[in-house]
Amino acid sequence: MNSYWETCVALARDTLRDPRQAARQVLALDLPREVVWSLLGLVAVGSLAATLIGDRMLPQGTMAMMPFLTRAPILGALFLAAAMVILSAVLSRLGQLFGGAGTFDQALRLIVWSQILMLALQLLQTVFIPISPTISALIGLVGFVWFIWLAAAFTAELHAFDGAGKGLVVAVLSVFVTAFALMILMVMLGIKPMVEAANV
């Protein structure tokens, strides 16, 4: 257990210092596919739980953006897992169209690892909500900026692009395509993707 923990901490530290090098380490890990999928499920559940807890601690919850997450947590976790899977598929395919060589399995590994890091940041943000909402919001802002940088570097390494600029373009396009695909999926399932206005 200690070796796994030490490996994760070292990898997280490397991700902060040199995300492309960290991406190479993640891709080089000898992880069976079922382990990656299990981690994806755990991250989806953990992210939803952290979001719901943080939402309960705020004066005005943020989950009104997607009310079905609070009404049906299992559906919410499945939705988050599906988002990661779709993003991995889109990221690998779009990158290939731009001349990259990354595969779905490789993209999924990097997406799962990035979401593990974002979950840790989300938990830190939640801890600071009752202490200082301002610091909590600042952590969220810094995390958002850092995630953009991380996505560009991970995508560039995934597809062996020369620079992070091309990686950023592919990453941003992948997010937009994934969001569009999720909107269509939600409509097909009869889920309202829009903000619910409060009844006065």
Instruction: Answer whether residue 129 is part of any domain.
Output: yes
Q: State pTM to two decimals.
A: 0.86
Task: Report how many domains make up the chain.
Answer: 1
Residue 152 gets the label, from left (phi > 0), alpha (psi -120 to 50) or beta, of alpha
Q: Which amino acid, 101?
A: A
Instruction: Answer whether residue 196 is part of any domain.
Output: no
Instruction: Answer whether residue 126 is part of any domain.
Output: yes
Instruction: Answer whether residue 197 is part of any domain.
Output: no
pLDDT recorded at residue 85: 96
Instruction: Answer whether residue 135 is part of any domain.
Output: yes
pLDDT recorded at residue 200: 38
Closest CA to 114 of 79, 82, 77, 87: 87
pLDDT by residue for the chain (200 residues), tens only, comes to: 456 677 788 898 999 889 999 999 999 988 899 999 999 999 999 988 888 887 777 665 554 445 666 667 788 888 899 999 999 999 999 999 999 999 999 999 999 999 999 999 989 988 888 888 889 889 889 888 988 999 999 999 999 998 888 999 999 999 999 999 988 888 887 766 544 444 43
In this structure, what DSSP letter does residue 198 have?
P
For tokens 């559906």, what's the residue? 75
For tokens 């989950």, what's the residue? 63
Instruction: Answer whether residue 195 is part of any domain.
Output: no
Instruction: Answer whether residue 121 is part of any domain.
Output: yes
Instruction: Answer whether residue 198 is part of any domain.
Output: no
Domain range enclosing 34: 2-188
- Kindly give, in sequence order, each residue whose CB lies less than 8 Å from that of residue 183, ignoring residues fewer than 6 positions away: 193
Q: CA 171 to CA 151: how far, in whole Å?
A: 6
Q: Which residues of 100-122 are buried (b: 16+ CB within 10 A; e: fewer)?
A: bebbeebbbbbbbbbbbbbbebb
pLDDT recorded at residue 199: 42
DSSP-H helix ranges across the chain: 2-17, 19-28, 33-57, 68-71, 73-97, 104-128, 133-158, 164-188
Residue 93: both structure tokens together: 């395919």
pLDDT recorded at residue 10: 87
